[in-house]
Structure 1
Amino acid sequence: MSDIKCLSGSSSMSVPGTAFTEDRRPEPGPVTALSDGTTHEQHAEDARIQSDNKLVCCEPSDKIFESVYKTDRFLGQGSFGTVFSAVCKSDGQQVAVKSIWKLKNNTTTVDGCKLNTDVVMMATLQQYPTCPYVIQMFEWFDYPDHIKVVMENPHPCTELVTLIMCRKLDIEKTRIIMSQAVEAVKHCLDHGVFHNDIHAGNILVNTNTFNIKLIDFGCAMLYTEDAYQRNTYRGAKLYRPPEVKSGNSFDGPKTNVYQLGRILERMSSGLRSTECRRLYKKCQSWNPSDRPTFEDLLKDQWLFKPL
């Protein structure tokens, strides 16, 4: 990554040759004004026109959060923080805001400067080409002991885990959600991000369109083809692959495939589909080398039916 472009606030981070190290651990909406006078639509367009070797990285806003947004209601609990809805005062656009405490184990280092992991990973994922199935960050606000990250707020939506528990999914909706989840996770890996916490609670589903958004990058790490040490796994125990339990290391993509298989199994519980069963069992193979690659998944005739 050869350049960082700051989209809001002062431009003190325009540093060529930036390297990252870790501290281990499509639905268009109305145009919305950001605190710097630009709009969410312009922000997205600016991200789209960046070349592949540039990182779109937002500096913290120089405005006061309360002067731009009005807090609405509590939405949920995520890694290292809480999420609530808010309304942009200039035009009434709804956004989601994640308030995150500043802790030593939720930072990623950029040229010796520690930044919040959510911010760095989400900025990385907004490099061109973007993915409609990954949540987008608009801007963030910096405080002495915490930060506030402003993101898109798809609605009406609910967590995938809620749809599973209420048995609201048929086999076709299950297939559609799974295919989007595969594309979202592959997008993360292609952009150098290993999510590290893929589970049904970290996928939002629009209850009208059944389009998804992958959320919560507080446990994410920069992707490497080298094996990760066992103690760096931060995912839910229910989605933990066997090599994390019994081995000393694990592979990022193979772990994500296992987690996606676990999600597919939960979504299809009680549904009769030989193809679905075949796929989730293959994804959860005990031996990681027996699991399909993301390229295999994209070619799966049941998951991605030809038009």
Structure 2
Amino acid sequence: ICFSECGYDYECLLGEGCYGSVFKGIHREDRSKKDGEPRPVLAEVAMMLRLGTSCSSIIKLHDWMENDVGFILIMEVPDQSMTLYRYLENCGSIDGGTASRFRQQLLDAAKHLFSCGIFHGDLHLENVLVSESSLDLKVIDFGCALAIDDEPFESSDYHGNEIFCPPEIDDQPTFFAEPAYVWCLAAMFEKIMKACETNEWCYIIRLCLARDPADRLRLDQM
């Protein structure tokens, strides 16, 4: 990547995955730090543009461009952040207030995604960043996202994390976005609850993890 052509100074490589690499750069004019991620992501760009910037719990897309390699997404990078999975692993335990704050931010993000007609497709603890200083969460990585319409998705279109995969993906030929969101959220809430060592959410989590999607709560009931 030629950072200079994009108006950024290269800072470091943040990580690499199956679809590309994530770098950190500093914008020359405002000196703000942003991530750049090269990958074939026209669909991902479309999803993020549809989301807009109104939800603080979803990573923001600042710009995107095409070069000889493919596409570069310029996204915000929260200060002193790590994945929610790593945060919970490092902390060992968290207090009830922090757990409730995480739960509400994840729920707000999922509701916003659903209202914008987007199924994230890979929602799990490693696709959520947490700022160590503010405890603000950011849902990231829309590479598996799908546009929601009136028809169900084909289960074969799901390419997300297998551990956080809703059971209907394996049980049925098709699935709907809302019950899948509910299941993924509940699976994350369960991990947060264990770190908090509380049983406060057990009843809601049990309802949301029902194997039959028709038996789960709706997003507005969580």
Q: TM-score, normalised by structure 1?
A: 0.67
Higher helix content, 1 or 2: 2
Of 84, 106, 129 in structure 2, the residue corresponding to residue 204 of structure 1 is: 129
Residue 65 of structure 1 deviates from its aligned partner by 4.3
Of 35, 45, 60 in structure 2, the residue corresponding to residue 119 of structure 1 is: 45
Matched residue SS, 2:82: strand
Matched residue SS, 2:34: strand
Partners of 1:191 and 1:249 lie apart in 2 by 21
Which amino acid counterpart does residue 163 of structure 1 have in structure 2? Answer: Y
Residue 228 of structure 1 deviates from its aligned partner by 0.9
- Mapped contact 1:160–1:200 kept (Cα < 8 A): yes
Q: Are residues 262 and 135 of structure 1, via their aligned partners in 2, closer, same or farther at CA, if it must alter by over 3 Å?
A: same
1:148 aligns with 2:72: yes
Which amino acid counterpart does residue 121 of structure 1 have in structure 2? Answer: M
- Mapped contact 2:119–2:148 kept (Cα < 8 A): yes
1:165 aligns with 2:100: no
Query: How is 1:281-300 mapped onto 2 (pairs within 5 angstroms)?
Result: 281-297=206-222
1:85 aligns with 2:28: no
Matched residue SS, 2:138: strand
1:66 aligns with 2:9: no
Deviation sequence 1:88-128 (CA, Å, 0-9, x none): 1123211111121x3xxx5xxxxxxxxx122111101017x
Q: Please, which runs of 5 or more residues in structure 2 have no aligned partner?
A: none
Q: List structure 1 runs of 4+ shifted beyond 4 angstroms.
A: none
- Mapped contact 2:130–2:137 kept (Cα < 8 A): yes
Partners of 1:278 and 1:170 lie apart in 2 by 20
Residue 190 of structure 1 deviates from its aligned partner by 0.7
- Mapped contact 2:113–2:120 kept (Cα < 8 A): yes
Q: Are residues 157 and 270 of structure 1, via their aligned partners in 2, closer, same or farther at CA, if it must alter by over 3 Å?
A: closer
Partners of 1:149 and 1:134 lie apart in 2 by 15
Partners of 2:143 and 2:65 lie apart in 1 by 16
The CA RMSD measured in Å over matched residues stands at 1.7
Partners of 2:154 and 2:193 lie apart in 1 by 32
Residue 157 of structure 1 deviates from its aligned partner by 1.2
- Mapped contact 1:70–1:87 kept (Cα < 8 A): yes
Q: Are residues 219 and 270 of structure 1, via their aligned partners in 2, closer, same or farther at CA, if it must alter by over 3 Å?
A: closer
Q: Are residues 218 and 94 of structure 1, via their aligned partners in 2, closer, same or farther at CA, if it must alter by over 3 Å?
A: same
Q: Are residues 171 and 241 of structure 1, via their aligned partners in 2, closer, same or farther at CA, if it must alter by over 3 Å?
A: same
Aligned residue in 2 for 1:137:
61
Query: How is 1:1-307 mapped onto 2 (pairs within 5 angstroms)?
Result: 65-67=3-5, 68-77=7-16, 80-100=19-39, 102=40, 116-126=42-52, 130-166=54-90, 167-269=92-194, 271-297=196-222
- Mapped contact 1:199–1:259 kept (Cα < 8 A): yes
Which amino acid counterpart does residue 4 of structure 2 have in structure 1? Answer: E
Partners of 2:113 and 2:189 lie apart in 1 by 19
Partners of 1:70 and 1:79 lie apart in 2 by 25
Which amino acid counterpart does residue 165 of structure 1 have in structure 2? Answer: E
Q: TM-score, normalised by structure 2?
A: 0.92
Residue 274 of structure 1 deviates from its aligned partner by 2.7
Q: Are residues 122 and 92 of structure 1, via their aligned partners in 2, closer, same or farther at CA, if it must alter by over 3 Å?
A: same
Deviation sequence 1:52-86 (CA, Å, 0-9, x none): xxxxxxxxxxxx74141011112234562221110
Among the aligned pairs, what percent are the same residue?
25
Residue 144 of structure 1 deviates from its aligned partner by 2.9
- Mapped contact 2:88–2:195 kept (Cα < 8 A): no
Partners of 1:215 and 1:183 lie apart in 2 by 14
Residue 294 of structure 1 deviates from its aligned partner by 1.1
Q: Please, which runs of 5 or more residues in structure 1 have no aligned partner?
A: 1-63, 107-115, 298-307
